[in-house]
Amino acid sequence: MAVLLIAEHNNKELRPFTLNAATAASQIDTEVHALIIGHNSADAAKQLSELPIIKKVLTVEAAHYENFTAENFTPVIVKLAENYSHIVCSANTFGKNLMPRIAAHLDTSQVSDIIKVISPDTFLRPIYAGNAFATIKSNDAKKCVTIRPTSFDPCESTGGSASIEKIEAGEEFLNTKFIKREEIKSDRPELGTARIVVSGGRGMQSGDNFKLITEVADKLGAAIGASRAAVDAGYISNDHQVGQTGKVVVPDLYIAIGISGAIQHLAGMKESKIIVAINKDGEAPIFSVADYGLEADLFEAIPQFMEELNKLNTIQK
Amino acid sequence: MKILVAVKRVIDYNVQIRVKEDNSGIVTDNVKMSTNPPDDNAIEEAVKIKESGKATEVVAITVGEEKAQETVRKALAVGADRGIHVKAEGILEPLAVSKILQKIVEKEKPDLVFMGKQAIDDDCNQTGQMLSALLNWPQATFASKIDVKDNKLEVTREIDEGLETIEINVPAIVTCDLRLNEPRYASLPNIMKAKKKPIEEMAASDLGVDVSPRLEQLKVEEPPKRKAGIKVANVAELVQKLKNEAKVI
């Protein structure tokens, strides 16, 4: 039996992590079908059909799918599930909201947020904010699995030509109504996929001071992250939060400025390739994961950092 | 309106956990335990709604071993009216917990069920969604703001792209984000009073729910350690290292 990948998209195009989830799906079984549920999402479906890993695309279209409400998506997926051994999806807020609803209907114990496929029924996943890794074997006939996208490379996005099959829409769930979505638009790279992330913590002391982080990020073509303390203090909006309950990032370079490094923050960034910590407290736990630590007052260090960057002839973007 | 709030006992969020030497799990003996942090937010929100006059009763429930009752007692000390402790031993998967909660909901008939969005031990993030599936109720996950309007809730959800607002009809499930509110501390008089509040006890088997695990935890190990880094003397050295050694800028 094949694997069914639930695509994440915005009705116009695929969300990039769908490509990472597709890679994980293909490691479970080479027969990967992808399901796209949406409204006027034909372009995204076409994009999906071009992923060489995908053998077949299923599309379900209706107005009540426009806002990805789990209560509307679930019956469609549960019905299709009889043809599949695994249902998989990215473990971001879309998949985290949706997959357990499907799993409960299928009477399956879900395996959340896997970072490695060991075999079709055995997976590696972080527990305790990534302070331990558990190897989990699922004995359920059907397996519901969510995938930590940053732990898998994105698949090839062109060259495929999977068939696209239309599936009948399900009924609308009337007790949940979408009102609005406030997306924060930015010209910067997305936090989840950026090559460089510059993050600020409580040490920034104010939202105004966060413009220092912005300057560094602009100079490096980086995304902006933040600790939960900085978000809770109102310095920056929640979509920038990196950590156990925020986003998990794995950039080539993570620069933590004024972040002490609570366990919950480290959970979201310690797999980064190179970590830089700038903090005036030499005992701060962030230094235990930093490749390069600079013990300094950030309000002196950031202007100097900008000066040194300006001296460089070239900066990789 | 009656609100049922589910709380879980976990290793305290400040504890640096240790993996057992035989790789069978995490050391929990003599380790500080407390209520799962976002479950505290769930209790706080329910109590606030009651204080605003929009709810009549807040019932706290936990599922787990003998000592898990501490979390219910704590909920009673910050304003829950009574407690339920469903006793069960060993690893309880979210599917099993949601089936137990379903039985309790059928008996208690609450209008709302609140709980934290995720437990910080297994990091599963499943129970609320599973319970709403079993009950066929609406779900508002990752809630950072809740407005109660007659028989509806307007809930702001924390999503990857920013914020989403939905309206759900009661009865409904809400899973709470840490940003929902600032949980209060229990005062000493309230801790004393909580000792007199009733906690109903029952066994998971009394509810006819099979809680045996579906997943086998084959091994628990420490994640690979990062190699030790260095401290640089100044910003110039930092930039030079990033450019010429790490080659990332």
Does residue A98 sit within a domain? Answer: yes
- Please indicate, yes or no, whether residues A32 and A123 belong to a single structural domain of this protein: yes
Residue A181 lies in a domain: no
Cα end-to-end span (Å), chain A: 43
Structural domain of A264: 196-311
Q: Which of residues 4-63 of A touch B (CB under 8 A)?
A: none
User: Is A176 inside a domain boundary?
Assistant: no
Which residues neighbour B148 within 8 Å (Cβ) at sequence distance 6 or greater? B1, B49, B52, B54, B55
A187 within some domain: no
**CA–CA distances in Å: residue A266 to residues A37, A227, A244, B203:** 35, 9, 8, 38
- Per the structure, the count of domains in chain A is 2
Q: Work out how many domains chain B is built from and give that number.
A: 1
Could you read off the pLDDT of B160-197 as tens digits, one per residue?
888 999 999 999 999 999 989 999 999 999 999 999 99
**Run of H or E including A313:** none
| Whether residues A238 and A281 fall in one domain | yes
Predicted pLDDT at A317: 67
Q: Do B161 and A97 touch (CB under 8 A)?
A: no
pTM of the model: 0.93
**Looking at residue A47, what is its pLDDT?**
97
User: Would the CB atoms of A132 and B164 count as touching at under 8 Å?
Assistant: no
**Segment B9-31 mean pLDDT:** 95
Q: What is the pLDDT of residue B225?
A: 85
Inter-chain CB proximity B249 and A112 less than 8 Å: no
**B145 Cβ under 8 Å from any chain A Cβ:** no
Domain shared by A157 and A211, yes or no: no
Question: What's the confidence (pLDDT) of residue A151?
Answer: 93
Look at residue A129 and tell me if it is in a domain. yes
The domain containing residue B54 runs over which residues?
Answer: 2-222
Residue with tokens 């490094």: A261
Q: Are residues A293 and A204 in the same domain?
A: yes
Q: Using a CB-CB distance cutoff of 8 angstroms, which residues of chain B are in contact with residue A182?
A: 162-165
Q: Quick one: how far is CA A271 from the chain centroid?
A: 14
A177 lies in some domain: no
B218 contacts A132? CB cut-off 8 A = no
Q: Is A183 inside a domain boundary?
A: no
- B64 located within any domain: yes
B227 pLDDT above the threshold of 90: no
- ipTM of the prediction: 0.95
**Domain harbouring A221, CATH code:** 3.40.50.1220
- Our measurement of the distance from residue B186's CA atom to the centroid of its chain's CA atoms, rounded to an integer in Å, reads 18
- Residue A20 shares a structural domain with residue A71: yes
Listed by number, the residues of chain B in 45-84 with a beta carbon closer than 8 Å to a beta carbon of chain A are: none
pLDDT digits (tens, 9 = 90+) for B65-116: 999 999 999 999 999 999 999 999 999 999 999 999 999 999 999 999 999 9
Is A261 strand, coil or helix? coil
Residue B230 in domain: no
| Cβ pair B5, B69 in contact under 8 A | no
Pick the residue of A174, A176, A178, A279 with the most B CBs within 10 A to test the interface with B by mutation.
A176
Q: Token pair for residue B83?
A: 């407690």
The per-residue pLDDT for A187 is 83
Q: Are residues A143 and A17 in the same domain?
A: yes
SS3 A100: helix
Which residue of B27, B230, B235 to mutate against A (max A Cβ within 10 Å)? B235
Distance CA(B90)–CA(B92), nearest Å, equals 6
Identify whether residues A147 and A18 lie together within a single domain: yes
> Does B142 map to a domain?
yes
Residues A207 and A264 in one domain: yes
pLDDT of residue A90: 96
Indicate the residue among A145, A166, A187 that finishes a domain: A166
Does residue A155 sit in the same domain as residue A214? no
Asked whether residue A158 falls in the same domain as residue A231, the answer is: no
**Same domain for A8 and A155?**
yes
Is residue A184 assigned to a domain? no
Cβ of B179 within 8 Å of Cβ of A231? The answer is: yes
The pLDDT profile of chain A, 317 residues, written as one tens digit per residue, is 899 999 999 999 999 999 999 999 999 999 999 999 999 999 999 999 999 999 999 999 999 999 999 999 999 999 999 999 999 999 999 999 999 999 999 999 999 999 999 999 999 999 999 999 999 999 999 999 999 999 999 999 999 999 999 999 999 999 999 999 998 777 889 898 899 999 999 999 999 999 999 999 999 999 999 999 999 999 999 889 999 888 999 999 999 999 999 999 999 999 999 999 999 999 999 999 999 999 999 999 999 999 999 998 888 76
State the Cα–Cα distance between residues A259 and A264, nearest whole angstrom.
Answer: 12
Which residue in the set A93, A126, A238 is minimally distant from B123, CB to CB?
A126
- Chain A and chain B share a number of CB contacts under 8 A equal to 259
Q: What is the pLDDT of residue B129?
A: 98
Average pLDDT of the residues of chain B: 96
Looking at the structure, tell me whether residues A33 and A157 fall in a common domain: yes
For residue A142, what is the domain's CATH number? 3.40.50.620
CATH number at residue B58: 3.40.50.620
Contacts of B168 in chain A (CB under 8 A): 175-177
- Whole-number pLDDT of residue B86: 98
